[in-house]
Amino acid sequence: MNTENRISKLSIALLVLAAICLATNLVLPIWKIDLYAPQYPEGLVLLIYADKLGGNVEIINGLNHYIGMQTLHAENFIEFTILEYILGFFSLSILVAAFAGRKKLVYAVFIAFTLFSVLSMVDFYRWNYNYGHHLDPNAAIKVPGMSYQPPLIGYKQLLNFGAYSMPDTGGMLFIACGVLLLIVVLIERKVFARWLSKKPVVPAAMLVMAIGTFASCAASGPRPVKINEDACAYCKMTVTDPAFAAQLTTAKGRQYIFDDVACMMGFKKENASVEHAHYYIADFCSPSDFVDMDHAILLQSDSLRSPMGGNVAGFALQDSAMVYKAKYGATEIKWAEYIR
């Protein structure tokens, strides 16, 4: 038997794991679109499975009716009738490639899976485009030139709703399947072996960077504020002064931007039923950076003149805070007392 054409035991194990990751997409939600608005502070969610839609479908359909968007029904999409079979086919194909142990078969499966992944995203974009652009001309609410296409991935503002589109649990495992297939191909093409023989530190450094990137993406922390674009979640004014910006995240990971700590406190009081996880304030000396309120040094003075009269500035460093405390005749306050 020609061992040159056989894959390693490690590759077999990784392929089996990849097949399991992909098979979970038959039962787990693959994608989700979260919608947030003042009247829905904890948000609405549309879950996309291999064979159905889930989440707050009926509420979303009711809202869509007023702006002329199509109502969502699984039977209207051919994808829901074939996707589970395609996923099952690829899961079995990966297992066959693993136990057949032939390199060429592994490469063929990897190429086919990559093409399927790209075509799936193209089809998803097409679905989003049709969903957001083909509007009922007799809708109760019409905004000239307005379309409601959800983002393919990431965030987009749609009227008073913020829409977040991202992979759900199944989607993350789908991506993991693709990564595992790529790793197997690199192993069998001896890419890692060549790296290790020349620069042994490179693969380890790349792994550490990948883990760090994944951890940072998974973390629910503050996001960069778009000055003159982002609107305050409480007063609806555009954020124009980054030095006084604030943010909070809910227990579900939803992020809210404010142009003033006073607005953040007003929002908290009006949404007392929402479980707020973390509060952040811009570093007055470096406004693009946000400091967790539990660790920030807070100064309050009428001379600070924040946009909505909260007149509170945050600092990451004690030395910086002391300079501005003297400059503005400010008083240092404690977050635990201010939040009451």
CA distance 256 to 148: 21
Helix (H, G, I), strand (E, B) or coil at 200: coil
Least confident of 52-66, 87-101, 106-120, 229-243: 52-66
Helix (H, G, I), strand (E, B) or coil at 266: helix
CA distance 147 to 229: 18
Q: Which residues contact 128 (CB under 8 A, 6 or more apart)?
A: 149, 150, 151, 152, 165
Residue 205 has pLDDT above 70, yes or no: no
Confidence of residue 2 (pLDDT cuts 50, 70, 90): low
Confidence of residue 201 (pLDDT cuts 50, 70, 90): low
Residue 199 has pLDDT above 50, yes or no: yes
Across residues 215-231, what is the average pLDDT? 73
Most confident range (mean pLDDT) of 65-69, 155-159, 256-260 is 256-260
Residue 80 has pLDDT above 80, yes or no: yes
Residue 227 has pLDDT above 80, yes or no: yes
- Give residue-wise pLDDT tens across range 291-314: 999 999 999 999 999 999 999 999
Burial class (CB in 10 A: 0-12, 13-18, 19+), 305: exposed
- Give residue-wise pLDDT tens across range 138-192: 766 776 766 778 888 888 877 777 888 899 999 999 999 999 999 999 999 988 7
DSSP state of 24: G
Residue 207 has pLDDT above 70, yes or no: no
CA distance 198 to 204: 13
Question: Which pair of tokens denotes residue 280?
Answer: 């952040």
Q: Are 280 and 293 in contact (CB under 8 A)?
A: yes
Residue 202 has pLDDT above 70, yes or no: no
Most confident range (mean pLDDT) of 68-77, 169-178, 202-211, 243-252 is 169-178
Q: Are 25 and 170 in contact (CB under 8 A)?
A: yes
Residue 128 has pLDDT above 90, yes or no: no
Alpha-helical regions (H) of 31-143 = 57-67, 79-100, 103-133
Helices (H) and strands (E) in the chain, counts: 10, 12
Better-predicted residue by pLDDT, 269 or 252? 269
Rounded to whole angstroms, what are the CA distances from 209 to 203, 204, 206, 216, 255?
A: 10, 9, 5, 10, 25
Alpha-carbon torsion, ordered 180, 181, 186, 189, to 10 deg: 150
pLDDT score recorded for residue 212:
52
Across residues 79-93, what is the average pLDDT? 95
Helix (H, G, I), strand (E, B) or coil at 205: helix
Question: Which pair of tokens denotes residue 124?
Answer: 């998803």
- Give residue-wise pLDDT tens across range 259-290: 999 999 998 888 877 777 789 999 998 888 89
Q: pTM of this prediction?
A: 0.61
CA distance 48 to 28: 9
Residue 17 has pLDDT above 60, yes or no: yes
Print burial letters for 208-222: b (CB count within 10 Å at least 16), e (below 16). eeeeeeeeeeeeeeb
Q: Are 239 and 232 in contact (CB under 8 A)?
A: yes
Q: Nearest Cα to 259, choosing from 283, 233, 223?
A: 233
CA distance 81 to 278: 42
When the pLDDT of each residue in the chain is averaged and rounded to a whole number, the result is 85
Q: How many other C-beta atoms can be found within 10 angstroms of the C-beta atom of residue 108? A: 13
- Give domain limits for the chain: 3-188, 242-338
